[in-house]
Structure 1
Amino acid sequence: MRNKILFTSHVANFQKFNRPFMRMLRKDGWEVHYASMGEEEILDADKSFTVSFTRNPFTISNIRAYKQLKQIIDRENYDIIHTHTPVGSVVTRLAARRARSRGTRVIYTAHGFHFFTGAPLLNWLIYYPVERFMARHTDTLITINDEDYKRAKRTFKTDVRYVPGVGVDPERFKPRLTKKQRNDLRRSLGLKPNDFVMIYPAELNKNKNQTMLIMAMEKLTAANPHIHLLLPGQDSMNGFHSKLIKEKGWQNNIHLLGYRADIPQLLMASDLSVSASYREGLPVHIMEAMTAGLPVISTKCRGATELIEEGENGYLVDFDDVEAMTNRIITVTNNSNSAVKLSKNSTKKAQKYYMNNIVIEMQKIYKV
């Protein structure tokens, strides 16, 4: 009889992080199922279920999700349940209590706890007690950054493992752009071959804090009118950033690109990766920038501090310190030799986070 595993996440879009592991398990003979809100088709699964998950923990919909999921779990007799996303994982682990007593192993990957050093007190009051309580319903807790690992290892009563992120597929960055392809892509964005181009691929929202970078452009464009900032990502703030850019008159230097499916190519067409986030787990956009061979300048958020070695592959600045961010960017633009060194170190450091290494680590955890 085949081993059977259920993956859960409240949104189906999260499957993109699980698919390498799903493919690996199917190759090893496992039957793979997936439960989510079902807003898009689930790939690389033998069977998928639509469950009434919602991000808001205080809605009746999650009670329905609990009942639906419990019915699925009790019927299917899984060997492993691997759950993701904060609310989805709470619902899943509660629904799996009876299954655990029968031998089902429950794995939870925390993609960055909402409580962390410097987090608001409210986050600690709400999220920490919940995660600590739910640890008793978890057989293996996977953390993706060192800070979360050390805290969970110290205070949670469960098996805690560290896996460095969700992995980056270096094949997405092959073949490398030729000089002509790079210049053609730049021209399609209204950029010149010799412009200095920064990029921050992220959803436009308060946490990602694109406003900090937009404000830095005042001094940056004064120092170098040929500097540009690319902001690919869906807008979750109803045009706030677009209005701000227009008010400042920086439309020629800041480019809101919306959703893009060609992030690896945009990274390879850029000169510098920048990030202004307040909170991250282990930021994929920085790992991808490193894979593309870009120097990185970021705020000192959890995860970024693990990826960026000061002066080696980039620089770290304090939250909302526009002046420090500006000065670091100017340092990179004015010193091509330093930029080359940072770039080479980024490429080398990125190898630790390649997908094949992460798959090997996950394979060890599944086989325990």
Structure 2
Amino acid sequence: MKILIVITDYGSFNNFLAELAVRLSRENEIHVVCSGSNVINIVDKFDYTKYNLTFHTVAIPRSTSIIKLIKSAREIRKIVKVINPHLVYAHFTTGIFPAIFFKKRNIEYWGTFHGLGMNASGGIRKIMFSIVEFFCFLRLDKRFLINNKDYKLVSNMFKVNTLKYNSCGVGCDIKKFDRNRFTEVDILNLKQDLNIDGKFLITYTGRFVEFKGFDLVYHSFVKLVEEFPDEVVLLLIGGRDPIHPTGLTEQEEIDLFKNQSIVNVGYTSEVEKYLAITDVFLFPSKKEGLPVCIVEALAMGVPVVTLDERGNSDVVRNNFNGYLVKSISKLSDINEIVEKLNYLYLNRNVLDMLSSNCLKRRETYSRSFFVEEQLNLINVFKSKVKK
């Protein structure tokens, strides 16, 4: 069977869909359409040349620019015409819209929304996302959501062929994200290499963008340092996104890289190594589907402090494996985040309890559940195609 996977950029494909695509390629002809950008810039998980995978580069915009999306839709239409796949499976709103804009008859179209824009935006952006996403809902043969809030919204509008992943989003590699892989010596050596031995370590993973709460991370940490100078460290894993603001002023961005208590690792394929030395994972994102970075932290036994928003609240439970902060205002959010971090710093027994609880549901975070669930769905469709 021929399957065409459409996803916004190569970095997202490599990070989220690589395992599924490789498994599918064993018995199917797989084509991948994505832009060549590497927003999540990590080394390739596989040597894709060894598999039945063909990549097609299309400049898919990471925005709701209708003109740019339609332009990319024309390019995708040409590819579909040549390949003539049995199934087009698109991911993210910005990948789904151009994939189905020129929908071809006699081809099945599926789409996974990794966080609806209409459910996490305001003003003109909410209107734009609502128009684009509703158009997508109408034209898709199957709609997939990955969190409860999005699923409830869409399933109320389209009761048939609207499904929610049973897996924990796309999950993570729990063999890789396993704290038992790291000895006490490994942990001590890494802390010494970073010159943070004996410090309380808070980690943030992701793009340095405002809608992921990066500004809240910075301001909360600066305030925490005032209370515990030379005792706490912020570890940043990721980097800037050229099309989205950080939420910081120019001077704050300068201070960010001058602050001796902030360690900037950049993008890395060894996130698990840094989570192994982390005390608390701070990810106060306002706009998530179901964040992989939180799943990775929980799999490593690291308690999470995040905002009480969709996706985050699907996996984090108050006083069990972390804390959910009700977002009221920027100042209020910062104060409550600092309060939670302060409490965990002063109460290591509570921190240990939360860490232990993180590991109780560890098996459910496995990416294998996502892969197997998708393989089963596609195999059911494949059996119908053969008939």
2:178 aligned with 1:176 = no
Q: Unmatched 5+ residue regions in structure 2?
A: 39-43, 381-387
Pair 39,183 (structure 1): closer, same or farther in 2 beyond 3 Å: same
Alpha-carbon distance between aligned partners in 2 of 1:56 and 1:242, rounded to the nearest angstrom: 24
Contact 1:209 1:277 in 2 (8 A): yes
Pair 242,125 (structure 1): closer, same or farther in 2 beyond 3 Å: closer
Moved more, 181-190 or 287-296: 181-190
Pair 39,322 (structure 1): closer, same or farther in 2 beyond 3 Å: closer
2:98 aligned with 1:91 = yes
Pair 243,131 (structure 1): closer, same or farther in 2 beyond 3 Å: same
Deviation at 1:283, TM superposition (A): 0.8
2:129 aligned with 1:121 = no
Instruction: Give the match's secondary structure for 2:282.
Output: strand
TM-score, normalization by structure 1: 0.89
Residue of structure 1 equivalent to 2:240? 235
Deviation at 1:109, TM superposition (A): 0.7
2:80 aligned with 1:73 = yes
TM-score, normalization by structure 2: 0.85
2:372 aligned with 1:360 = yes
Alpha-carbon distance between aligned partners in 1 of 2:149 and 2:31, rounded to the nearest angstrom: 31
Pair 62,116 (structure 1): closer, same or farther in 2 beyond 3 Å: closer
Pair 323,13 (structure 1): closer, same or farther in 2 beyond 3 Å: same
Pair 60,178 (structure 1): closer, same or farther in 2 beyond 3 Å: same
Moved more, 324-333 or 348-357: 348-357
Residue of structure 1 equivalent to 2:41? none
Alpha-carbon distance between aligned partners in 1 of 2:246 and 2:253, rounded to the nearest angstrom: 14
Pair 70,46 (structure 1): closer, same or farther in 2 beyond 3 Å: same
Residue of structure 2 equivalent to 1:5? 3
Contact 1:93 1:138 in 2 (8 A): yes
The residue identity in structure 2 corresponding to 1:356 is: S
Instruction: Give the match's secondary structure for 2:263.
Output: strand
State, as a whole percentage, how many aligned pairs show the same letter.
Answer: 24
Pair 200,242 (structure 1): closer, same or farther in 2 beyond 3 Å: farther
Pair 247,12 (structure 1): closer, same or farther in 2 beyond 3 Å: closer
Instruction: Give the match's secondary structure for 1:200.
Output: strand
Alignment of 1:141-220 (within 5 A): 141-156=143-158, 158-163=160-165, 164-174=168-178, 176-192=181-197, 194-220=198-224
Superimposed CA distance per residue, residues 221-247 of structure 1 (whole angstroms, 9 cap, x where no aligned partner): 243331111112112358957842765
Contact 1:85 1:111 in 2 (8 A): yes
Alpha-carbon distance between aligned partners in 2 of 1:308 and 1:24, rounded to the nearest angstrom: 30
Alpha-carbon distance between aligned partners in 1 of 2:13 and 2:284, rounded to the nearest angstrom: 26
Instruction: Give the match's secondary structure for 1:190.
Output: coil
Pair 162,210 (structure 1): closer, same or farther in 2 beyond 3 Å: same
Pair 81,254 (structure 1): closer, same or farther in 2 beyond 3 Å: same
Alpha-carbon distance between aligned partners in 1 of 2:135 and 2:112, rounded to the nearest angstrom: 16
Pair 67,181 (structure 1): closer, same or farther in 2 beyond 3 Å: same
Alpha-carbon distance between aligned partners in 2 of 1:309 and 1:123, rounded to the nearest angstrom: 30
Residue of structure 2 equivalent to 1:25? 24
Alpha-carbon distance between aligned partners in 1 of 2:379 and 2:132, rounded to the nearest angstrom: 28
Residue of structure 1 equivalent to 2:304? 296
Alignment of 1:211-360 (within 5 A): 211-225=215-229, 226-236=231-241, 237=245, 240=248, 243-244=251-252, 247=255, 251-319=259-327, 320=330, 321-360=333-372
The residue identity in structure 1 corresponding to 2:217 is: L
Pair 366,170 (structure 1): closer, same or farther in 2 beyond 3 Å: same
Deviation at 1:249, TM superposition (A): 10
Instruction: Give the match's secondary structure for 1:258.
Output: coil
The residue identity in structure 2 corresponding to 1:267 is: L
Alpha-carbon distance between aligned partners in 2 of 1:88 and 1:247, rounded to the nearest angstrom: 36
Q: Aligned pairs, how many? A: 359
Deviation at 1:56, TM superposition (A): 4.3
Alpha-carbon distance between aligned partners in 2 of 1:239 and 1:206, rounded to the nearest angstrom: 5
Please, what is the CA RMSD of the aligned residues? 2.5
2:56 aligned with 1:49 = yes
Deviation at 1:80, TM superposition (A): 1.1
Residue of structure 1 equivalent to 2:13? 15
